[in-house]
Amino acid sequence: MVNRDILDYTAVELSEKIKKGEFRVTDAVEAVFGQIAGTEEELHCYVTLEKDRALARAAGVQEQIDAGALTGPLAGVPFAVKDNLCTRGMRTTCSSKMLENFVPAYSAEAVLKLEEAGAVIIGKTNMDEFAMGSTTETSYFGVTRNPRNTAHVPGGSSGGSAAAVAARECFAALGSDTGGSIRQPASYCGVVGMKPTYGTVSRYGLVAYGSSLDQIGPLTKDVRDCAVILETIASHDEKDSTSMRRTDTDFSSALKEDVKGLRIGIPKDYLGRGLDPEVKSAVLAAAEVFREKGAVVEEFDLSLAEYAIPAYYTIAAAEASSNLERFDGIKYGYRAPETDELHLLYKRTRSQGFGPEVKRRIMLGSFVLSSGYYDAYYLKALRVKALIKKAFDQAFAKYDVILGPVAPTTAPKLGESLSDPLKMYLGDIYTISVNLAGLPGISIPCGEDAGGLPVGLQLIGDCFREKTLIQAAYTYEQEVK
Amino acid sequence: MAKQYETVIGLEVHVELATRTKIFCGCSTAFGGAPNTHTCPVCTGMPGSLPVLNKQVAEYAIGVGLATNCTITRYCKFDRKNYFYPDNPQNYQISQLYLPICRDGYVEIGLPAGATERKKRIGIHEIHMEEDAGKLIHDDWEGCSLVDYNRSGVPLIEIVSEPDMRSADEVIAYLEKLRMLIQYLGASDCKLQEGSMRADVNLSVREAGAKEFGTRTEMKNLNSFRAIARAIEGERERQIDLIESGKAVVQETRRWDDTQETSYAMRSKEDAQDYRYFPDPDLPPLCIDDAWLERIRERQPEFREEKRSRYRETFDLPDYDIDLITDSKHMADLFEATVALGAHPKKVSNWLMVETLRILKEKGLDPEDIAFSPEHFAALIDLTERKVINSTVAKKVFEALFDEDIDPVAYVEEKGLRTVNDEGALRGIVEQVLAENPQSVEDYKNGKEKAIGFLVGQTMKAMKGKADPAAVNKLLKELL
């Protein structure tokens, strides 16, 4: 029963055991693939799995560990990577027909950082097509099911990554978060997910959706893994002009149980209309835990939350409409067959290669950027974005952490969301402001609803205050363990 | 009586900057190279790639802005211009619309003799930075199109003038002025034929004295000053004909065909695309602080006017020489380097103005194409001044210098071109020439002074050109 035991470890614990010689790296990889053999057919967390490659890599990593060349906390850990992060020699599809056969010649900087630390990438996880969606149902390759209840979605867009961690089909995963795409699936699947401050992790090699909002982050079994992985992938990268130089990325130093005197604010608008009562009571119970541990918790008004959704969908769609122009059938990816006239080639390739949600956002984005509408929509959305940032600045003058739900409900049933896109967009209400303001946010499990589906607690910090969030999340996690 | 019309012209000039690497990635900007070898994920628009600004591009743009009296935008941004075409790998071009790096400048051009004013200011509306596109190659034989991204991401600046020009002469004077400034800055070689400088002409006509501008057209594909002059003349006439026959000028983009000397419409205003410009979220705003601007200002080169006065004071050259030499930065650099090696300024100037310009003209080259080194040039002048070679030989050596940058000292030795100063050998040849040409000797003695020229020529021929003609002349007179 060794295999079953090994899957119970967190990434950091596993690496410890491997470095002590209790497990081989190949044991970990075999264990994960053993689990996959049992559950993947139903769950469908992955778009691509590369077992042979992972085993070969595991052998190489083992040699380096044995030689004492790899000593870090992630050495030997099997990882899953969201399929919008380029992996050299491993196909990167963004869960789209458009990139079904695209194999990059380069790896994303965050992937390189993980590999330098000795991680073994076993495959690429399913996602909403080009990260557009909140359920992983817009994937060209089919839905992913929630491991906690397979009638439900895992959330999205990093649904495959969250489900793979929850189903123990990997030890940890990378995702990307443009409007909640790490935090919300983490919440739905009962794992930890974090979006760092914009500019903390290089976006080089992340297939862009909304460039000014996209950030890469970890999805993990616990807060320690989250801190360690973020510490590993955070870097200043010359190849990303929006990446920042930070000297405070020793996030694991914040794994301390102490929230005494921590000032926590709960926005009243985050507890109002539309919030499921079971989610509300779980979140308020979590707030009570913080209070008992010595934090100062109070409710306050964070205005403008209602403007966040239209501003977000305007800006993200505008950027996406331009970012996705490069998928044209000329250079790589899908090309409509038997088309020799240029404009027809563009039209057919993009009509056939993109799914409906992607097309909807491209059309929306093209519209808000068109001449005559630019000021009324795009510029206005940028102004709202600036006001939201200002509102958060004011809040962080009073509070160290903002606490609230991740999503208004627990994971919806499969097939419920896509019929009403507007309703799906409204589900992002608690997460998207964080992206608009460039802030860090973490999602940690805080209980279950009556049906046994996990509820997520969101902690939001000021720019560069990941450590505050990690310390608060760690304290809570240790308390309720 | 026929109406009088005024031509109103504004220019959009694209200049390819002389950076070693592209504007948003580290790929080489070198010409040539097999297709798609100077490329990377960034300049081929691969998913997940990101642009990083080459600071040298901004420094050149600021340099041109300062030289053209522009205001430098201290907080400038890049915008995406969205349009689909296969030479444009991202299907958007990174350019500047809302906050271009330079604004509101001008250059002064000289006006022809007879004009009421000697100088005229041509306003510069803005200068912005952008990336060049790749190149499509249509293979009619195979019936397909291929794309080469080696040029994709090569840095450009676009200099947009105000509609201040009124004739082809003014347009050409403006372009020559820009070219001179930019060449002096070393920001580009500005070759129209090779496309490192491209001009689009916006032109309208109006009745003389009218206040409002007429409807303008934009003319593209102008590859030489002559083509520009012809296109302006052709378009002016086309528009006047339309107006005189009661038709309207249509706002459109036209392509000039210089071999047919005619233009045809490419697209009208109605077909104009909506480029959906918006700030590029991958590139943070470029903040140009005082210290950076000052460093660029300090590095600005000596421009032509300053060079002229310095040459006047330092080298004691006639204005005519100074104008010719400083007409090209490359020529002026060569002049100064050669003089610095000890050559006499006037001698250097003479070689540049006579032999150099002659060969350039014969070969249809620009002064920028001069490829010989100042060291070899100075050595040649030295050989001539010390009479190691005579002037006829020197011209031959110069041609070899021009073509292949030969070392004149080695070349003269190798080819045995030294002037023969051995009087014994010379005397033998002269005596032989006199003996072989009794008629000329007779003529000279009968007072035909010109006959000696023939005898000198015969002697030089017998010496294979390697004698000092003055010495031959002297010896002939002595022996006659």
Place of tokens 């004909």: B241
CB of A257 within 8 A of CB of A478? yes
Which residue from A230, A241, A223, A25 is spatially nearest to A113, judged by alpha carbons? Answer: A230
Query: Which pLDDT score is estimated for B266?
Result: 86
Pick the last residue of a domain from B415, B437, B468: B415
Q: Under an 8 A CB cutoff, do A326 and B147 touch?
A: no
Residues A172-183 have a mean pLDDT of: 98
Does residue B345 sit within a domain?
A: yes
Distances from the Cα of A468 to the Cα of A249, A254, A440, A472, A475, angstroms:
12, 7, 10, 6, 11
Domain with residue B461: its CATH number is: 1.10.10.410
Place of tokens 């004071």: B313
Rounded Cα–Cα distance for residues A233 and B202 (Å): 52
What tokens appear for B475 in the block?
């010896």
Which domain does A117 fall in, by range? 2-254
Q: Under an 8 A CB cutoff, do B50 and A346 touch?
A: no
Which residue from A168, A101, A95 is spatially nearest to A125, judged by alpha carbons? Answer: A95
Chain A closest CA to B323's CA: distance in Å?
46
DSSP string for residues in B143-194: TEEEEEGGGTT-EEEEEEE-S-B-SHHHHHHHHHHHHHHHHHHTS----TTT
Q: Under an 8 A CB cutoff, do A330 and B281 touch?
A: no
Residues A48-73 have a mean pLDDT of: 98
Does residue B473 sit within a domain?
A: yes
Does residue A77 sit within a domain?
A: yes
Does one domain contain both B408 and B429? Answer: no
Poorest-confidence range of A181-195, A255-269, B63-77, B305-319?
B305-319
Say how many CB pairs under 8 Å bridge A and B: 96
Question: Which residues are CB-contacts of A179 (< 8 A; sequence separation ≥ 6)?
Answer: A210, A213, A312, A316, A428, A431, A432, A435
Query: Which pLDDT score is estimated for B216?
Result: 94
Q: Under an 8 A CB cutoff, do A204 and B284 touch?
A: no
Neighbours of B166 (CB within 10 A): 13
Residue B364 scores a pLDDT above 70? yes
Which residues in chain A touch residue B86, judged by CB atoms under 8 angstroms apart?
Answer: 328, 330, 342
Place of tokens 């009403």: A420
Q: Under an 8 A CB cutoff, do B89 and A331 touch?
A: yes
Does residue A22 sit within a domain?
A: yes
- The reported pTM is 0.89
Task: Grade residue A3 by pLDDT with cuts at 50, 70 and 90.
Answer: very low
Question: Of the candidates A207, A325, A331, which has its C-beta nearest B92's C-beta?
Answer: A325
Does residue A287 sit within a domain?
A: no
Q: Under an 8 A CB cutoff, do B91 and A92 touch?
A: no
Residues A196-201 have a mean pLDDT of: 98
Q: Give backbone dihedrals phi and psi of B417, rounded to 5 degrees, phi first.
A: -100, 5
Which residues in chain B touch residue A101, judged by CB atoms under 8 angstroms apart?
Answer: none
Q: Under an 8 A CB cutoff, do A211 and B84 touch?
A: no
Distances from the Cα of A142 to the Cα of A125, A186, B234, B406, angstroms:
12, 20, 62, 72
- Sequence letter at residue B275: Y
Chain B closest CA to A342's CA: distance in Å?
9
Q: How many structural domains does chain B have?
A: 3
Which residues in chain B touch residue A211, judged by CB atoms under 8 angstroms apart?
Answer: 281-282
Query: Which pLDDT score is estimated for B328?
Result: 87
Does the beta carbon of B282 lie under 8 angstroms from any beta carbon of chain A? yes
The verdict on whether omega for the bond into residue B245 sits within 30 degrees of 0, i.e. cis, is no
Q: Under an 8 A CB cutoff, do B48 and A204 touch?
A: yes
Pick the last residue of a domain from B271, B291, B311: B291
Distances from the Cα of B145 to the Cα of B86, B87, B141, B152, angstroms:
10, 11, 10, 17
Does residue B297 sit within a domain?
A: no
Does one domain contain both B74 and B151? Answer: yes
Task: Grade residue B451 by pLDDT with cuts at 50, 70 and 90.
Answer: confident
Which residues in chain A touch residue B284, judged by CB atoms under 8 angstroms apart?
Answer: 241-242
User: Tell me: the pLDDT tens digits for B315-334?
Assistant: 989 999 998 999 888 999 99
Query: Which pLDDT score is estimated for B368?
Result: 83
Does the beta carbon of B52 lie under 8 angstroms from any beta carbon of chain A? yes
User: Tell me: the pLDDT tens digits for A286-316?
Assistant: 999 999 999 999 999 997 777 999 999 999 9
Which residues in chain A touch residue B21, judged by CB atoms under 8 angstroms apart?
Answer: none
Does one domain contain both B266 and B310? Answer: no
Q: How many Å separate Cα B195 from the centre of its chain?
A: 11
Q: Is B214 helix (H, G, I), strand (E, B) or coil?
A: coil
Chain B closest CA to A244's CA: distance in Å?
11
Which residue from A112, A54, A61 is spatially nearest to A85, judged by alpha carbons? Answer: A112
Does the beta carbon of B469 lie under 8 angstroms from any beta carbon of chain A? no
Rounded Cα–Cα distance for residues A54 and A413 (Å): 33
Q: Which of B46, B99, B135, B273 has the highest number of chain A CBs within 10 A, making it the mutation to test binding with A?
A: B46
Least CA distance to A209: which residue of chain B?
B48
Question: Which residues are CB-contacts of B430 (< 8 A; sequence separation ≥ 6)?
Answer: B459, B472, B475, B476, B479
Which residues in chain B touch residue A378, judged by CB atoms under 8 angstroms apart?
Answer: 278
Query: Which pLDDT score is estimated for B290?
Result: 97
Least CA distance to A367: which residue of chain B?
B276
Work out whether strand B197-207 and strand B217-220 pair parallel, antiparallel, or are unpaired.
antiparallel
Q: Under an 8 A CB cutoff, do B278 and A369 touch?
A: yes
Please compute, for residue B472, the number of CA atoms within 13 A of its CA located in the half-sphere on the CB side.
26
Does one domain contain both B163 and B242? Answer: yes
Place of tokens 């699947």: A189
CB < 8 Å from B in window 185-224 of A: 203-208, 210-212
Residue B475 scores a pLDDT above 50? yes
3-state helix, strand, coil in chain B (%, to 5): 40, 20, 40
Chain A closest CA to B101's CA: distance in Å?
18
Q: Under an 8 A CB cutoff, do A325 and B50 touch?
A: no
Which residues in chain A touch residue B41, judged by CB atoms under 8 angstroms apart?
Answer: 104-106
Does residue A82 sit within a domain?
A: yes
What tokens appear for B439 in the block?
């008629």
Residue B270 scores a pLDDT above 80? no
Does one domain contain both B86 and B233? Answer: yes
Question: Of the candidates A104, A319, A328, which has its C-beta nearest B91's C-beta?
Answer: A328
Does one domain contain both B379 and B269? Answer: no
Q: What percentage of chain A carries pLDDT values higher than 90? A: 93
Does the beta carbon of B221 lie under 8 angstroms from any beta carbon of chain A? no
Question: Which residues are CB-contacts of B343 (< 8 A; sequence separation ≥ 6)?
Answer: B377, B378, B381, B382
Chain A closest CA to B58's CA: distance in Å?
15
Query: Which pLDDT score is estimated for B459?
Result: 83
Residue A210 scores a pLDDT above 50? yes
What tokens appear for B128 in the block?
């912005």
Q: Which of A91, A99, A216, A326 has the highest number of chain B CBs within 10 A, making it the mutation to test binding with B?
A: A326
Does residue B197 sit within a domain?
A: yes
Rounded Cα–Cα distance for residues B179 and B201 (Å): 16
Exposure b/e, B426-459, CB count within 10 A at least 16 = b: beebbeebbeebeebbebbeeeeeebbebbbebb
Residue A40 scores a pLDDT above 70? yes
Does residue A18 sit within a domain?
A: yes
Residues A111-118 have a mean pLDDT of: 98
Does residue A36 sit within a domain?
A: yes
Residues B206-223 have a mean pLDDT of: 92
Pick the last residue of a domain from B291, B315, B330: B291
Rounded Cα–Cα distance for residues A281 and A299 (Å): 15
- Sequence letter at residue A394: Q
Does one domain contain both B46 and B182? Answer: yes
Q: Under an 8 A CB cutoff, do B147 and A328 touch?
A: no
Does one domain contain both B334 and B437? Answer: no
Q: What percentage of chain A carries pLDDT values higher than 70? A: 99
Does one domain contain both B247 and B112? Answer: yes
Q: Under an 8 A CB cutoff, do B48 and A104 touch?
A: yes
Does residue B368 sit within a domain?
A: yes
Task: Grade residue A18 by pLDDT with cuts at 50, 70 and 90.
Answer: very high
What is the DSSP secondary structure assignment for residue B76, as one 8-state letter? E
Place of tokens 């003038």: B161
Does the beta carbon of B48 lie under 8 angstroms from any beta carbon of chain A? yes
Q: Give backbone dihedrals phi and psi of B287, rounded to 5 degrees, phi first.
A: -100, 120
Does the beta carbon of A90 lie under 8 angstroms from any beta carbon of chain B? no
Q: How many structural domains does chain A have?
A: 1
Q: Under an 8 A CB cutoff, do B47 and A239 touch?
A: no
CB of B123 within 8 A of CB of B165? no
Chain B closest CA to A164's CA: distance in Å?
24
What tokens appear for A11 in the block?
């990434």
Which domain does B439 fall in, by range? 423-479
DSSP string for residues in A101-169: T---SS--HHHHHHHHTT-EEEEEE--SGGG--SSSTT-TT----BTTBTTB---SSSHHHHHHHHTTS
Does residue B164 sit within a domain?
A: yes
User: Tell me: the pLDDT tens digits for A223-262?
Assistant: 999 999 999 999 999 999 999 999 999 999 999 999 999 9
Q: Which of B278, B283, B287 has the highest number of chain A CBs within 10 A, making it the mutation to test binding with A?
A: B278
Chain A closest CA to B359's CA: distance in Å?
47
Query: Which pLDDT score is estimated for A282?
Result: 98
Does one domain contain both B406 and B445? Answer: no
Does residue A209 sit within a domain?
A: yes
Q: Containing H/E element for B443?
A: helix B438-445
First to last CA, chain A: 25
Q: What percentage of chain B carries pLDDT values higher than 70? A: 99
Does residue B386 sit within a domain?
A: yes
Residue A2 scores a pLDDT above 60? no
Which residues in chain B touch residue A85, judged by CB atoms under 8 angstroms apart?
Answer: 48
User: Tell me: the pLDDT tens digits for A343-401?
Assistant: 999 999 999 999 999 999 999 999 999 999 999 999 999 999 999 999 999 999 999 99
What tokens appear for A380 in the block?
């206005």
Orientation angle between helical segments B319-326 and B304-315, nearest 10 degrees: 140
Question: Of the candidates A105, A211, A371, which has its C-beta nearest B274's C-beta?
Answer: A371
Does residue B296 sit within a domain?
A: no
Neighbours of B314 (CB within 10 A): 11
Chain A closest CA to B307's CA: distance in Å?
40
Does one domain contain both B383 and B439? Answer: no
Does one domain contain both B19 and B127? Answer: yes
CB of A35 within 8 A of CB of A168? yes
Q: Which residues of A are catalytic?
A: 82, 157, 181
Q: Under an 8 A CB cutoff, do B52 and A238 touch?
A: yes
Q: Is B15 helix (H, G, I), strand (E, B) or coil?
A: strand
Q: What does pLDDT average to over chain B? A: 91
Chain A closest CA to B113's CA: distance in Å?
47
Q: Under an 8 A CB cutoff, do A371 and B283 touch?
A: no
Q: Under an 8 A CB cutoff, do B53 and A322 touch?
A: no
Question: Which residues are CB-contacts of B10 (< 8 A; sequence separation ≥ 6)?
Answer: B125, B160, B161, B162, B163, B164, B165, B202, B216
User: Tell me: the pLDDT tens digits for A251-264?
Assistant: 999 999 999 999 99
